[in-house]
Structure 1
Amino acid sequence: MAMFFKPAPNKVTVPLMDELTPLAGELSEGSIAGVITTDLFSQNLIQYSSLAGALNAGVRAYYIDPSNGFSVELFSRFGEGEVLVGKVYSAGELVRALEIVEENSFVFVSNFSILGAGEGDVVGLRRLIDEKGLYAVFSQNTLELNELNLNAEYRRLFVLPELYEYLIVIRSSSYRGHYRLNVSLSKLPALHIKNVGEHSITVDEKAKLLMGE
C-alpha cells in the first residue's frame, strides 16, 4: 500500500571507502550502491574498506556471496569487529537472506549478477532495503566491460539501475609502486551530483593493507 512520510536527517552513514567519501559521500539508511570493478585489486579494496567502514560507524556488517570470497585474515588488516558471512546461490535466496538480517545493517553482496536477478527480484530487494533501513552494496567484478556504454553495463549487471542511489565503476592502475583507482561516478545522491564523472584517486595506504606491507 502506498504511503507518504516526512524524511528525517540521516544520523548514521557508512563510507564506501575513505578516499571516495569527498566525491561520493557516504551511504545512508535504505540506500543501494551498484559497484562494478574490473580487477581483483579494486574489488578487494571496496569490499574490505566498506565492511570496515560500517563497523567503525557502529553498524552491523554482513557479507553475502555465492563463492568463498571473504578472508578473515585479510579483513583484519582493514578493521576490527565481526562480519557475518552468508552464501546464496540465487536471487530468491538473497531476498530470504535480507529478510533475516538485522535492521539498519550494512550488507555487501558480491557477484550480484551471477544470482540471476530479474526486475521483480530487484524491486523486492529495493523494498526490503527501504523497510529495514539497510545500507547495501551490490558488487560485480568483471573482465568484460563496454566502457563506451556504461549505462548498458549497469543494466546488464544490476537489472534496474534506476533503483540505485549510486552507480560506480572502479579500475586500478599502478606505476613504480604507487596505486591509483580510476573511478567513474555515474549516479550519485543529489547532494554530490557535481562530482558525477571521471576521477583518479591515490590509494597507496590502502594498497599496503591489501598487499600486507
Structure 2
Amino acid sequence: MRMFFKPAELQPREIKPFDAFPLAFAEGSMSAMIAADELAETVFLYHLMANSLGDGPVYHVGPGSPSLKLLRKLTEDVSNLYAGNVYSVDELVDALKVVDDGSLVIVSRFPTLLNRSAERLVEIRRKVDKKGLVLVLSHSTIELNELDLPGEFRRFYDLPEIFDVLAVLRTSSYRGHHRFNITVLKAPPDHVSSVGDHSIPADSLVKHIL
C-alpha cells in the first residue's frame, strides 16, 4: 500500500480569484463550486485563472475551451494557460497524471462527464494529494434547490465529503451595480470562519467581462 507522507510543517501555496473572496485554495486541495448563473461562474473562473497565471501553469479541462479573448481583458500574458477537452472521468484522471505538480487545474462542467462515481472521485483525490494540485471543479446550473444545497452538491458531485471547499456562487444587480454572492458550505480548518453567506461589491469584477 502506497502512502503519501510529507512534513506537516510545510506551508502550502494558496490562491484566490480576487482579494475579497472569503477563502483561499491551497496546494493539495479539491474544491467544488456551483454557480447559480453563468455570470457568477465566468467572473469566478476567469479571475481565478488570471490571478494564477503568474505563478505557474494553469490547466483548464472539460467539455469546451476557455475564451482567450476574455482572459486577455484581465491579464496580458496567457502563455502559462493550457487547455484540453475531456468527456469522461476516466479521461480526467489520465489528464491529471500529466499536469505539473503543484499547478492549478480547473475542470468546468464536471457533472456532465461520463462515468462519474464515488470510486472515481477517490481516484481523483489520490492524484490531487500525490501531485499537490489545486483542483477546482465547477458547474453552472439554472436549476438549483436553494432549500437543499447539501443535496445539490451530492447530486452534482457524488461524494461531497471528499472535497475541502464547497461553495455556491451567485451574482445580483440593482440599478446598474453588481454584487457577487457566495455561500460557503464547507471550508478548510484555516478558513472555517468563512462558512456562511458573503456579499461582495462586484462592479470592478464584472466590468471587463460585461
Q: Which residue of 2 aligns with 1:77?
A: 73
User: Does the CA contact (< 8 Å) of 1:16 and 1:27 recur in 2?
Assistant: no
Q: Which residue of 1 aligns with 2:58?
A: 61
Q: Which residue identity is paired with 2:134?
A: Y
Structure 2 CA distance for aligned equivalents of residues 33 and 207 of structure 1? 23
Q: Which residue of 1 aligns with 2:138?
A: 139
Deviation, structure 1 residue 158:
1.1
Number of aligned positions between the proteins: 206
Deviation, structure 1 residue 5:
4.1
TM (norm. structure 2) is: 0.93
CA 135–38 in structure 1, closer or farther in 2 if over 3 Å, else same: same
Gaps of at least 5 residues in structure 2 are none
Structure 2 CA distance for aligned equivalents of residues 145 and 11 of structure 1? 33
The 3-state SS of whatever aligns with 1:199 is: strand
Structure 2 CA distance for aligned equivalents of residues 168 and 11 of structure 1? 21
Gaps of at least 5 residues in structure 1 are none
Deviation, structure 1 residue 6:
3.2
RMSD: 1.4
Q: Which residue identity is paired with 1:78?
A: L
Deviations 1:4-25 (A, max 9, x none): 54313325221133220xx21x
Output aligned runs, 1:1-213, within 5 Å.
Answer: 1=1, 3=3, 4-20=5-21, 23-24=22-23, 26-56=24-54, 58-68=55-65, 70-79=66-75, 80-82=77-79, 83-116=81-114, 117-211=116-210
Structure 2 CA distance for aligned equivalents of residues 27 and 198 of structure 1? 18
Structure 1 CA distance for aligned equivalents of residues 129 and 195 of structure 2? 24
Q: Which residue identity is paired with 1:54?
A: S
Deviation, structure 1 residue 39:
1.0
